[in-house]
């Protein structure tokens, strides 16, 4: 496959800057069609981004012979259905994270990918960003020695939209998102840790709704262990006071500590016997571009992208265990 001609299912906020423009900036890659259930939205996106075709029906986009790969940028509840439709049509898929709204749906995607031989990639794009590549480099170079414990701490206040009882964001509607904001944000953190240290094989958690703004969990705590026995823990609060706002992962090693953020990209803090050092790594304008480039090169037979449905399914297993869904 020399020219990757993408069809977008969904053209919401994430496609405007984080991902969408990258598909047409990479050599051998272009956007051929977009789909939204809203004709006004589909037409507007196509006009603004110079996309030749637009649809209001996903199957019509998938069946378009000028589309040979599909990007799924809808809420998680429809990821598995659209991914399976595309793979059965022989078209590779790039899916927004999390792969699906449940571990069980992820298993369905893996099964169809294996049966059809059609690859399914997942947008855990932080793996490929220079910021997190630097963290990986520090770990692999033993700068802090053997890592013996990891800790996730995350807290944010409610968003204004969370107070709208009649029109809550889809990200807090469990039937659409798989859970609350935990299911939307924690996947990036958990995927990064598993990319660094291998699969989490033991996990337990407790979740609660403390703010009463919506039905889904808004406060979560978890303990987990990786395959080599290294323990870790996580704490997430989505209704905290502004004074508690934090976005931090701590990697505690025998010779020091690495602290970094996942969403705010604060300077990486390296603590060793030589003192504290801050490392600032800028992001590219379109943050998904490095990973999308890997996906395109994989489809062109020029590389291998390991950010696939198999590795992504592990993240859903961890989250579903934490939330008591398994």
Report the pLDDT averaged over residues 293-302. Answer: 97
pLDDT at 171: 96
* Per-residue confidence band for 104, with pLDDT thresholds at 50, 70 and 90: very high
Q: Where in the chain is the domain with CATH 3.30.360.10?
A: 130-282
Q: Where in the chain is the domain with CATH 3.40.50.720?
A: 4-125+287-307
Average pLDDT value for the chain:
97
Hey, which bits of 1-130 come out as E strands? 4-9, 29-35, 53-55, 69-72, 93-95, 120-122
Of the CA atoms within 13 Å of residue 111, those in its CB half-sphere come to 8
pTM above 0.85, yes or no: yes
**With 80 as the cut, is the pLDDT of residue 107 above it?**
yes
Q: Is 256 left (phi over 0), alpha (psi -120 to 50) or beta?
A: left
Among residues 61, 30, 55, 59, which one has the least CA distance to residue 43?
55
> What CATH class has 4-125+287-307?
alpha beta
Buried residues in 285-296 as b, exposed as e (16+ CB within 10 A): ebbbbbbbbbbb
Report the pLDDT averaged over residues 279-292. Answer: 95
Report the pLDDT averaged over residues 103-108. Answer: 98
> 216 is written with which tokens?
């889904």
Q: Is the separation of the CB atoms in 135 and 260 below 8 Å?
A: yes
Report the pLDDT averaged over residues 253-267. Answer: 97
Q: Is 212 left (phi over 0), alpha (psi -120 to 50) or beta?
A: left
User: Could you report the per-residue pLDDT of 12-44, keeping only the tens digit for each?
Assistant: 888 998 898 999 999 999 999 999 999 999 999
Report the pLDDT averaged over residues 115-132. Answer: 98
Q: How does DSSP classify residue 214?
A: S
Q: What is the CATH number of domain 130-282?
A: 3.30.360.10
Of the CA atoms within 13 Å of residue 303, those in its CB half-sphere come to 11
**What is the Cα 258 distance to its own chain's centre?**
22
**With 80 as the cut, is the pLDDT of residue 1 above it?**
no
Element (DSSP H or E) covering residue 290: helix 289-299
228 CB burial (10 A radius; 0-12, 13-18, 19+): exposed
Q: Which residues contact 316 (CB under 8 A, 6 or more apart)?
A: 98, 99, 100, 102, 103, 106, 178, 187
**With 90 as the cut, is the pLDDT of residue 315 above it?**
yes
Report the pLDDT averaged over residues 238-258. Answer: 98
Report the pLDDT averaged over residues 173-182. Answer: 97
Report the pLDDT averaged over residues 207-217. Answer: 97
What are the C-alpha distances in Å from 224 to residues 87, 106, 111, 152, 191? Answer: 33, 21, 27, 11, 13
**What is the Cα 6 distance to its own chain's centre?**
19
**With 90 as the cut, is the pLDDT of residue 60 above it?**
yes
Among residues 187, 240, 166, 167, which one has the least CA distance to residue 210?
240
72 CB burial (10 A radius; 0-12, 13-18, 19+): buried
Q: Which residues pair with 275 in a beta bridge?
A: 272
> 116 is written with which tokens?
């059809």
pLDDT at 18: 86
- Give me the sign of the Cα torsion angle 295, 300, 306, 310: positive
Among residues 272, 228, 257, 136, which one has the least CA distance to residue 191?
136
**With 90 as the cut, is the pLDDT of residue 109 above it?**
yes
Report H helices in 89-236.
103-116, 130-140, 174-177, 181-197
Question: Regarding beta strands 231-237 and 53-55, do their DSSP bridges make them parallel or antiparallel, or are they unpaired?
Answer: unpaired
* Per-residue confidence band for 74, with pLDDT thresholds at 50, 70 and 90: very high
Q: How does DSSP classify residue 285?
A: S
pLDDT at 289: 96
């Amino acid at each position: 496959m020399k020219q990757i001609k993408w069809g977008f299912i969904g053209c919401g906020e994430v496609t405007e800057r984080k991902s969408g423009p990258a598909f047409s900036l990479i050599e051998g890659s272009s956007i051929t069609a977009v789909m939204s259930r809203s004709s006004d939205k589909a037409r507007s996106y196509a006009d603004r981004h110079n996309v030749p075709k637009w649809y209001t029906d996903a199957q019509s986009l998938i069946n378009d012979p000028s589309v040979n790969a599909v990007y799924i940028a809808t809420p998680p509840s429809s990821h598995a259905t659209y991914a399976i439709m595309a793979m059965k049509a022989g078209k590779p898929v790039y899916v927004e994270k999390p792969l699906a709204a449940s571990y069980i749906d992820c298993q369905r995607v893996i099964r169809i990918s294996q049966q059809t031989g059609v690859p399914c990639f997942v947008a855990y794009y932080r793996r490929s960003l220079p910021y997190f590549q630097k963290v990986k480099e520090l770990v692999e170079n033993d700068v802090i020695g053997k890592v013996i414990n990891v800790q996730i701490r995350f807290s944010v206040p409610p968003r204004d939209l969370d107070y709208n009882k009649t029109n809550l964001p889809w990200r807090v509607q469990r039937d659409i998102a798989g859970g609350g904001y935990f299911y939307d944000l924690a996947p990036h953190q958990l995927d990064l840790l598993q990319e660094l240290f291998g699969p989490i094989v033991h996990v337990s958690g407790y979740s609660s709704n403390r703010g009463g703004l919506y039905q889904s969990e808004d406060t979560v705590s978890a303990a987990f262990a990786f395959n080599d026995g290294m323990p870790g823990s996580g704490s997430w609060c989505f209704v905290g006071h502004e004074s508690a706002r934090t976005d931090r992962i701590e990697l505690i090693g025998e010779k020091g500590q690495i602290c970094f953020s996942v969403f705010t990209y604060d300077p990486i803090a390296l603590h060793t016997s030589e003192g504290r050092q801050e490392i600032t790594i800028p992001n590219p304008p379109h943050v998904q571009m490095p990973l999308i480039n890997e996906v395109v090169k994989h489809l062109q037979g020029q590389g291998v992208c390991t950010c696939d449905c198999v590795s992504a399914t592990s993240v859903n297993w961890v989250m579903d265990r934490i939330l008591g869904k398994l």
